[in-house]
Structure 1
Amino acid sequence: MTAVITQPSRTVRGSGAQGRTVLVAVLLATFMGLLDAGIVTVAVPSIQRELNASFGEVQFVSAGYTLAYAVGLVTGGRLGDLYGRRRMFLAGVVLFVLTSLACAAAPSATALTGARVLQGLSAAVMLPQVLSIIQDGFTGPVRATALGCYGATVGLASIAGQVVGGALLAWNPLHLGWRSAFLVNIPIGAVALAIAARTVPESRGTPARLDLPGAGLLALALVALLLPPVRGQGRPAVAIGLAAAAAALTLFALVERRQANPLVPMRILAQRRMVRGLSTVLAFYAGNAGFFLLLACHLQSGIGQEPLGSGLVFTPLGIAFAVTSLTGRRLGSPVRGTILMTIGLAGVLTVVLAAPESAQAGWLLPALTLSGAGQGLVAAPLIGKVLAGVDPADAGAASGVLLTATQIANAAGVALIGGLFAHALGTAPGSPTASFHDYVHATAVTVAAVLALAVVTGLLVRKS
Structure 2
Amino acid sequence: MRTLRRTASGGAADGTGTGHGTALAALLTATFIGGFDSSMMLLAAPTLQSALGASFAQTQMVVVGYTTAYAVALMTGGRLGDVLGRRRVFLWGAAGFTLASAVCALAATPALLIVARVVQGLTAALMLPQVLAIIRASLPPVVRRRAVGLYGATIGLAWVAGPVCGGALMAWSPFGLGWRALFLVNIPVGVLIVAAARRRVPESHGPRTRLDVPGAVLLGAALFLLLSVLGGSLALPPVRTAGALVVAGTLLAVFWARECRLQARSLSPIVPPDLLRRRRFGRGLAAVLAFYAGNQGFLALLAYYVQDGLERSPLVTSLLFSPLSAGFALASAVGGRVPAHVERRTALGGISLMAAGLVVFAAMVCWASVSLQLAVLPGALGMLGLGQGLVAGPLISLVLGSAPLADSGAASAVLLTVTQLAHACSVAVIGTVFGTVLGGDPGDGTHSLADHARAAASTTLVVLAVCALAGLLVHRLFSGGPDGAPAQGPPPDRAPGARGGGP
User: With structure 1 as the length reference, what TM-score do the two structures score?
Assistant: 0.94
Question: For residue 257 of structure 2, what is the amino acid of its counterpart?
Answer: L
Whether 2:357 is the aligned partner of 1:350: answer: no
Q: Deviations over 1:34-80 (max 9, x none)?
A: 11112223211111112111101110101100100000001000000
DSSP 3-state at the match of 1:61: helix
| 2:239 maps to 1:239 | no
Q: Which amino acid aligns with 2:456?
A: A
RMSD between aligned residues: 1.9
Specify whether residues 380 and 48 from structure 1 end up closer, same or farther in structure 2 by C-alpha distance, changes over 3 A only.
same
The 8 Å contact of residues 297 and 429 in structure 1, kept in 2 or not, is answered as no
In the TM superposition, what whole-angstrom CA distance separates every residue of 1:383-412 from its partner, at most 9, and x where no partner exists?
A: 111111211211111111110000000001
Letter in 2 for 1:299: V
In the other structure, the counterpart of 1:24 is 25
Aligned to 1:266: 273
Is 224-233 or 147-156 further displaced after alignment?
Answer: 224-233
Q: 1:347 to 1:254 in 2, by over 3 A?
A: same
Q: Which residue of 2 aligns with 1:251?
A: 254
Q: Does 1:334 align with 2:335?
A: no
- Quick one: which amino acid aligns to residue 21 of structure 1? T
Using the alignment, how far apart are the partners of 2:364 and 2:127 within structure 1? 40
Q: Where does 1:46-85 land on structure 2 (aligned, <5 Å)? A: 46-85=47-86
Match of 1:406 in 2: 419
Write out aligned runs for 1:292-371 (5 A): 292-328=299-335, 329-330=337-338, 333-371=346-384
Whether the 8 Å CA contact 1:77–1:125 is kept in 2: the answer is yes
Deviations 1:239-273 (A, max 9, x none): 33321111110010111111221111111101011
Q: Is the 8 A contact 1:15 1:142 kept in 2?
A: no
- Identity rate, percent: 47
Matches of 2:138 and 2:448, distance apart in 1: 53
Deviation by residue 1:168-206 (Cα, 9 ceiling, x = unmatched) = 111111111111111111121122112111100100000
Write the distance in 2 (CA, Å) between the matches of 1:353 and 1:452: 18
Question: Contact 2:36 / 2:162 at 8 angstroms: preserved in 1?
Answer: yes
Corresponding residue for residue 281 of structure 1: 288
Correspondence for 1:373 among 381, 386, 391? 386
User: Does the Cα contact within 8 Å between 2:164 and 2:315 map onto a contact in 1?
Assistant: yes
Q: Compared with structure 1, are the counterparts of its residues 309 and 371 closer, same or farther at alpha carbon in structure 2 (3 Å cutoff)?
A: same
Contact 2:259 2:269 in 1 (8 A): yes
Aligned twin of 2:399: 386
**2:207 corresponds to 1:212:** no
Task: Measure how far apart 1:350 and its partner are.
Answer: 0.7
1:405-424 mapped onto 2 (5 Å cutoff): 405-424=418-437
Do the aligned partners of 1:80 and 1:396 also contact (CA within 8 Å) in 2?
yes
Residues 442 and 452 of structure 2 are in contact (CA less than 8 Å); yes or no, is this contact kept in structure 1? no
Structure 1 counterpart SS, 2:402:
coil
Q: Is the 8 A contact 1:283 1:409 kept in 2?
A: yes
User: What is the Cα deviation at residue 13 of structure 1?
Assistant: 11
* Structure 1 SS opposite 2:440: coil
Query: Would you say the 8 A contact 2:14–2:200 is kept in 1?
Result: no
Between the aligned partners of 1:355 and 1:14, the Cα distance in structure 2 is 58
Unaligned runs of 5+ in 2: 1-10, 479-503
Residue of structure 2 in register with 1:446 after alignment: 460
Q: Alpha-carbon deviation of 1:434?
A: 5.0
d(CA) in 2 for partners of 1:290 and 1:40? 15
Q: Counterpart of 2:440?
A: 427
What is the letter of the counterpart of residue 333 of structure 2? L
Per-residue CA deviation, residues 390-444 of structure 1 (Å, 9 max, x unaligned), is 1121111111111000000000100110011000111278999852111111000
Matched length: 455
For residue 189 of structure 2, what is the aligned residue in structure 1?
188
Report SS of the residue matched to 2:210: coil
Code of the residue aligned with 2:247 in structure 1: it is A
Task: Determine if contact 1:148/1:326 at 8 Å carries over to the other structure.
Answer: yes
Shift of 1:116: 0.5
Kept after mapping to 1: 8 A contact 2:91/2:197: yes
Cα separation, 1, equivalents of 2:217 and 2:15: 36
Q: Distance in 2 between matches of 1:323 and 1:13?
A: 30
Q: Secondary structure at the match of 2:96?
A: helix
- Label 1:429 to 1:462 Cα distance change in 2 as closer, same or farther (>3 A): farther
Runs of 4+ in structure 1 off by over 4 angstroms are 10-15, 329-332, 428-434
Q: Distance in 2 between matches of 1:361 and 1:27?
A: 33
What residue number does 1:5 align with? none
Distance 1:429 1:189, change over 3 A: farther
Query: 1:429–1:208: structure 2 CA closer, same or farther, 3 Å change rule?
Result: farther
Pairing of 1:135-150 with structure 2 (within 5 A): 135-150=136-151
Alignment of 1:92-131 (within 5 A): 92-131=93-132
Q: Is 1:458 matched up with 2:472?
A: yes
Deviation at 1:11, TM superposition (A): 7.0
TM-score with structure 2 setting the length: 0.87
Compared CA separation, residues 217 and 430, structure 1 to 2 (3 A)? farther
